[in-house]
Amino acid sequence: MPSDQSTWLVAIPQDGDSEGVVEELSTKLSQQSRSFSRSNIAQMSIPSFKTGTLESLVSLSEELPKQETTFTAVVAKIVDTLRNLLNNDPSKLSQHILVNEESVDEYLLGGWHWNEGRYGVQRGLREMVDVLIKEMTSIDNVMKAKLNNYNLAKGALVQLQRKKTGNLSTRSLADIVSKDNFIQDSEHLETVLVVVPKNQVKEWNSSYERLTTMVVPRSSSVITSDEDYSLFSVIIFKKVHDAFATQCRERKYVVRDFHFTEDQVTKEREELDMADTTEKELWTELLRLSRTNFSEAFQILVHLKVVRLFVESVLRYGLPANYIGIAIKPEPKATKRTLTLLQGHFSYLSPRSKGATASKGETTEEVSGEYQTLLDQEFFDFVLYEVPWIVN
């Protein structure tokens, strides 16, 4: 059963029975459901590609589903990137999920044509598929590299921002302490900054002088406090620094490794400004690239699906390789009825479509091996593949 969250691409032989098929289907679908819009069905152009050998067609028929899955995943990742960049804002997302500056529905249902200028049909099908794979792989690689660069820049910015907004155990102290909090120009003494949990302040005040030898008595002074911690300065001899730090850690005090300099505040502010500027530049670049590459990748995906429509049609209906394509956007609540209508309308194709899996004199059970992939697919008298609504 085709999904109710996709646009259906249908292919049938182009012959006398197919004349006016889009108009007929549109009328029937409108009669079936008053809410069905005639703009939700349109004819698609399926070129007459070079068919090649039966063996090559069967090989492509087995390979193309895997490539479709890969292509769809690339397009979906681009959509996810846009969604994340735009904070999951549907109105903003819709402004960037465009194909050649038109909506996906307009692209698929606006009289779709094969891009002959870009993918000349003089190529063989194998070469055509290889070109599409190469282009999609290139887009995927570029997107991965750009997204990685942006994530690194964003991570660096978040880290710097946390230094400004975290609690005393993690945030930067450059804008909290001052020169007066430190002993200056001493050969043997140093000031150590210790972050003490609020519920251990009393313990700190009564015990810090005995944590190690060579702690200057009555040198502890509270600098500031937040909801969870208090920041103390204490003077010790440099030679006992490591031992003092070890004793602090054992009591869950946090010794902050901070060396005061006059330009520290300015330096950290400049680092934050630079990180913010870099993140914004890369955000803008990634947004622009994602918008462009969505358009490119979606077109490549649809072209691959049309190749698959053609390959399956040749295997099912044979030559001449002239087929009509139809794009249908079914109503989600009427999917089953729409499929039943299509099956009834194209029932005249049944004798031809059955011949796709068994030649004269063969039973279905006798057909296996290279044709097994065809047998495993959901089978209708017409060829049907889907373009999922990955932009929803």
CATH of 6-143+292-388, one of 3.10.150.10, 3.40.50.300, 1.10.150.120, 1.20.1460.10: 1.20.1460.10
Residue 2 three-state SS: coil
Instruction: Determine which of 20-34, 64-78, 139-153, 365-379 has the lowest per-residue pLDDT on average.
Output: 365-379
Name the H helices within 118-263: 125-165, 201-207, 241-250
Per-position b or e across 123-137, b if 16+ CB within 10 A of its CB: eebeebbebbbebbe
Tokens encoding 4 = 């109710």
- Split at pLDDT 50, 70, 90, the class of 391 is low
| Dist CA 14 CA 86 (whole Å) | 45
Each residue's pLDDT tens digit, 313-334: 999 998 888 899 999 998 878 8
Each residue's pLDDT tens digit, 218-257: 999 999 999 999 999 999 999 999 999 999 999 999 999 9
Mean pLDDT of the chain: 89
User: Domain residue spans in the chain?
Assistant: 6-143+292-388, 179-259
pLDDT for position 238 = 96
Q: Is residue 12 within 8 Å of residue 343, measured between CB atoms?
A: no
In terms of average pLDDT, the best of 117-121, 330-334, 369-373 is: 117-121
Q: Which of 243, 142, 232, 225 is nearest to 194 (CA)?
A: 232
Q: Across residues 88-100, what is the average pLDDT?
A: 93
pLDDT for position 18 = 67
Does 374 have pLDDT greater than 70? no
Each residue's pLDDT tens digit, 272-298: 999 999 999 999 999 999 999 999 999
| Dist CA 89 CA 87 (whole Å) | 5
pLDDT for position 377 = 55
| Dist CA 68 CA 48 (whole Å) | 21
Each residue's pLDDT tens digit, 25-83: 988 888 887 777 888 999 998 999 998 899 999 999 999 999 999 999 999 999 999 99
| DSSP code string of 227-278 | SSEEEEEEEEEGGGHHHHHHHHHHTT-EEE-----TTHHHHHHHHHHHHHHH
Supply the pTM of this predicted model.
Answer: 0.78
179-259 CATH fold: Alpha-Beta Plaits (3.30.70)
pLDDT for position 389 = 81
pLDDT for position 287 = 97
